[in-house]
Amino acid sequence: MFGYIKPVTPELKVREHEFFKACYCGLCHALKRNYGIASRFILNYEFVFLSMLLWETDVPVKKKRKRCIASPIKKKCFCYNAPPLDTCAGYSVILAWWKLRDSIKDERFVKSIPYRMGRTALKRAYKKASRDFPDFDGVVKTEISSLSVYEQNEETSLDRAADAFSHILAAVATDEMPGERRRPLLELLYHLGRWIYIIDACDDIKDDVAAKRYNPVASRFAASGGKLDEADIERLKTTLDHSNNLIGSAFELLPEGHWSEIIRNVIYLGMPEICKNVLKTFEADRCE
């Protein structure tokens, strides 16, 4: 699921790269500890990034080394005893559960079997996560339902469809946060959700069109065979760059923290690189 919000690792310092991997592994351990082994399979870069964003400056980064199922021989460094990791573990379980449920509705029975198996494996984890974070669960349920309505109606407004997913990520900035931190985080997370939704639709457009599934980008630009012309590609790049710029502006209003340099790498290097690579596939199609 997803996997677009990640740093350009060659541009990280060695220490920063090790730091990032420790956070990634820390979220994996938090998933297993709080929600069971099956939840480890939903680990993704997006919630690692959210963990770094939510990490308060007064919360120390504690690390230790341990063997795990992914590295049974060599001990790997990971972050532990960190509330942001526990929070994002719960959020990721909730979002994965509702996305699996939505995918089951979109597919015929045979093709939906993997999603049904995934939902069964996450059932116990979801019940616990929904008890731990009922407010977030409520927001995800509401917005996923809105997205389902847009899909059924084949909504042509890209902004309206992206808005629903944007509200899901914006809900990560809870009311308990201090106002000076919550306001820029709301802006950042809203446009991060918008960016993820649109780039994911761009990445899936060929498969969705072939399977006759709703795709907001295909619906907005009437993409025949999942192909876009030069003007449409430029419009997509403009709207994605706009959200990326607003994400960067909002981030710079936040205080410096443990993960600031890694977050900057993701925003200013990683996201533009992903955007370039995804949109490049459309340009290749036009050259065929």
- The sign of the dihedral angle between the CA atoms of 188, 254, 54, 176 is negative
Q: Is 171 domain-assigned? A: yes
Greatest pairwise CA separation for the chain in angstroms: 54
The helix-helix angle for 134-153 and 83-106 (nearest 10°) equals: 30
Q: Is 143 domain-assigned? A: yes
Cα separation, 239 vs 245, in Å, equals: 10
Q: Is 73 domain-assigned? A: yes
Q: Is 4 domain-assigned? A: no
Instruction: Encode the chain (288 residues) as per-residue pLDDT tens digits.
Output: 578 999 999 999 999 999 999 999 999 999 999 999 999 999 999 999 999 999 998 889 999 998 888 888 889 999 999 999 999 999 999 999 999 988 888 777 778 888 899 999 999 999 999 999 999 999 999 999 999 898 888 888 999 999 999 999 999 988 777 778 899 999 999 999 999 999 999 999 988 888 888 899 999 987 777 788 889 999 999 999 999 999 999 999 999 999 999 999 999 999 999 999 999 987 656 555
Q: Is 191 domain-assigned? A: yes
Q: Which two tokens stand for residue 182?
A: 């919550």
| CB contact at 8 A, 23 and 77 | no
Could you tell me which of 208, 116, 109, 197 has the C-alpha nearest to residue 158?
197
* Domain count of the fold of the chain: 1
Q: Is 41 domain-assigned? A: yes
- The sign of the dihedral angle between the CA atoms of 56, 57, 58, 63 is positive
Q: Is 2 domain-assigned? A: no
CATH number at residue 44: 1.10.600.10
> Domain of 268?
9-287
Q: Is 130 domain-assigned? A: yes
Question: Which residues have C-beta within 8 Å of that of residue 191, sequence separation ≥ 6?
Answer: 166, 243, 244, 246, 247, 250
Cα separation, 219 vs 154, in Å, equals: 7
Could you tell me which of 4, 3, 1 has the C-alpha nearest to residue 273?
4
Question: Which residues have C-beta within 8 Å of that of residue 46, sequence separation ≥ 6?
Answer: 2, 3, 4, 5, 196
Q: For 62, phi and psi rounded to 5 degrees?
A: -100, 135
